Structure 1
Amino acid sequence: METIAAIPVFVAVVEYGGFSPAARFLGISKSAVSKRITQLEQQLGVKLLHRTTRKLSLTEVGERYFEHALKATEAARDAEDAVAQLQGEPQGRLRINSPMSFGRLHMAPMIPEFLKRYPKISIDLVMDDKRLEMVSGGFDIAIRGGDLSDSSLIARRLGRIHSVLCAAPDYLERHGHPRQLDDLLEHNCLSFSYSNDVRAWHFVKDKQHHSVLVSGNYQVNNSEALQEAVLRGLGIARLPTFVAGPDIRAGRLKVLFPDYQMPVQDYNAVFIERQYMPAKVRAFLDFAIDYFGNGTPYWEEGIDV
């Protein structure tokens, strides 16, 4: 039985690449993980892992054992999911990854409402603008924009992400209002550094595509920080409406070139394909789709995009 109990610990060490990250995922101490792996190797009479101060790798025997251990872990997870489907009320720990600004502005208000409805579920929300790996991060659900790069993931569409070009009235008074796209070359254009096209802004009008290579003196990896710079009159920026919507409605930001559309993306709740969908995952997906409307989102009410 001790060998069986050690299997998920061994799998976590391999998948997370070390004792410390595995311990964080499992919610136990690093020493407890190390002890469990040592006991497993002693019981099996083989060395499963090569350990150095900088690197951890599988031995040849460890690779073979991991193949079977992973199947056993997946079978146990499927068994848990199957049982959870028969439970009357969703329960258990739900680990969610979300981009920082979307998480703070929209996931953070939603989650307390979700937990009021499902008090037996506990949530661990990790907000990060970098795309974290679903499996290695131990996430049940991730909020992602754009197309999926991993074919093993399933997406439920929550809505669409619109971006608009914005500037503060004060900036436009001081520097003039750009009338043509090429006028942006003469303006201080601020950028979101995690964008796939930091310096190229793309537009569509009457099915015709237009691009402008822009430059500016500020680049930042957070949309709210970028918004703050625009509000303070530093320059022009491309902002998602889920960040800029309230300031556009209040007149603190002006939308430039409203007759041009910037690229639109779906935003999805993404999860790993499993034989049985856990009740806690299904409950969250259904709640999120209902909360965000899967249509015109609440943050775009009263603005034209």
Structure 2
Amino acid sequence: MDLLMSDVRLFVKAVEVGGLTQAADALGVPKASASRQLKRLEVLVGHALLHRGAGRFGLTGEGRIFLPTAKEVLEAADQALAQLSDTNETLTGKLRISVPGYIGRELLSPYLAGFMAAHPQLKLIVNVSSDHVDLFREDADVMIRAGREGCEEFVARRIKKLGRILCAAPLYLDRHPAINSVDDLAGHSFLTSGPERQAMEMVIPGRDQEYIVKAAGVFRANDPELLQRLACSGGGIALIPLLCAEGAIRSGSLVPVLPSLELMPKELNLMYLPARRNTRKIRTFVDFIFEALEQCIQAQKQDASVLDSTDL
């Protein structure tokens, strides 16, 4: 009996997603044949690989030993297929990208038209989401996220550092005493996506140290744009990405709070699965985006240089 890659892939996927039925759904395998595939693999290796039954699913001892080898086999096969696909100059199929809304609009959208024009036969699908998607479940091929929490298993390439800002609406600040130092933040209402601490504690991530502020209230949400809108309507002092706040600050809807306080930026990362690092469509997209961003950075430096020379 020969080893079938489809059987190995089903086994690895079942471990990743926590069930045989879920693995069959993710891979597009008929549920009726999933059990037969796993049984065929177990017969070939001579051991049961998974405990499965009512309310019970997990690796057997032999399955735990076999899993690293199975992953290596799949990665080697995927890399070989990716290298063979490089002989085809035209990118085809789908490329699914997951990105938070404000990052997609402000950072990614200026470059997507150029990428699509360069690769007209590749279908680009962008999923705007504030939540982390599960790349193991193949919800996306690539995701762009601020920070790396919970993403340690992925390849992460830093796009840039994402500045953060404390800001509030003038109408909110007019109703409260002037804020001249971190100590003056005590007793305010805050809007943040930061982790929950003790009741009514707000964490201010300074570049040099972390400040803990006793707040009148702390509203938490995983969507910076929601926090920005709440801040604009006077809901409190928001700690949000500068990229998300710039438009409201230009219009006067928000003003910086303690602008001299340097906050610790978050890393903006582009992430994908290690096994897919040599997939040509992913590699091409990553190279394109990094080249486009580098050109943008150089253009901004040239503009700043021209302004400086004009001032002279």
Provide the TM-score with structure 1 as the length reference: 0.78
Match in the other structure for 1:74? 75
Q: Is the 8 A contact 2:277 2:283 kept in 1?
A: no
Contact 1:16–1:22, Cα closer than 8 Å, also in 2? yes
CA shift for structure 1 position 53:
2.9
Q: CA RMSD in A?
A: 3.7
- Tell me how many residue pairs correspond in the alignment: 297
Change in Cα spacing, 1:228 to 1:27, as seen in structure 2 (3 Å) is farther
Q: In the aligned structure 1, how far is the partner of 2:206 from the partner of 2:63?
A: 52
- 2:159 aligns to what? 158
Q: 2:204 aligns with which of 176, 180, 201?
A: 201
Aligned equivalent of 2:234:
233
Flag the 1:218–1:153 CA change in 2: closer, same or farther, 3 A. closer
Percent identity, aligned pairs only, is: 27
Summarize the alignment of residues 43-192 of structure 1 with structure 2, pairs less than 5 Å apart.
47-99=48-100, 101-103=102-104, 106-107=107-108, 111=112, 114-123=115-124, 125=126, 128-131=129-132, 134-135=135-136, 140-146=141-147, 153-192=154-193
Please identify, of 38-47 and 84-93, the stretch whose mean Cα deviation from structure 2 is larger.
38-47
Check conservation: 1:189, 1:214, Cα contact below 8 A. no
- For 2:284 and 2:188, the matched residues in 1 are separated by 47
Is the CA contact 1:190–1:226 (under 8 Å) kept in the aligned structure 2? yes
In the aligned structure 1, how far is the partner of 2:240 from the partner of 2:288? Answer: 26
Give the C-alpha shift of residue 161 in structure 1: 0.3
TM-score normalised by structure 2 residue count: 0.76
Residues 210 and 271 (structure 1 numbering): CA distance in 2 closer, same or farther, change over 3 Å? closer
Residues in 2 aligned to 1:182 and 1:229: alpha-carbon distance in whole angstroms: 23
Q: Once the two structures are superposed, what CA deviation does each residue of 1:173-196 show, in whole Å capped at 9, x if it has no partner?
A: 222442222111132222224489
Q: How many angstroms apart in 2 are the aligned matches of 1:275 and 1:147?
A: 18
Question: Cα offset for 1:233?
Answer: 0.6
Local SS of the residue matching 2:175? helix
> Matched residue of 1:179: which SS?
coil
State the alpha-carbon separation in 1 of the partners of residues 116 and 64 from structure 2: 40
Q: Distance in 2 between matches of 1:29 and 1:116?
A: 37
5+ residue gaps in structure 1? Answer: none
Q: Mark the runs of 5 or more structure 2 residues left unpaired by the alignment.
A: 305-312
Distance 1:79 1:88 in 2: 17
- The range that moved more, 251-260 or 45-54, is 45-54
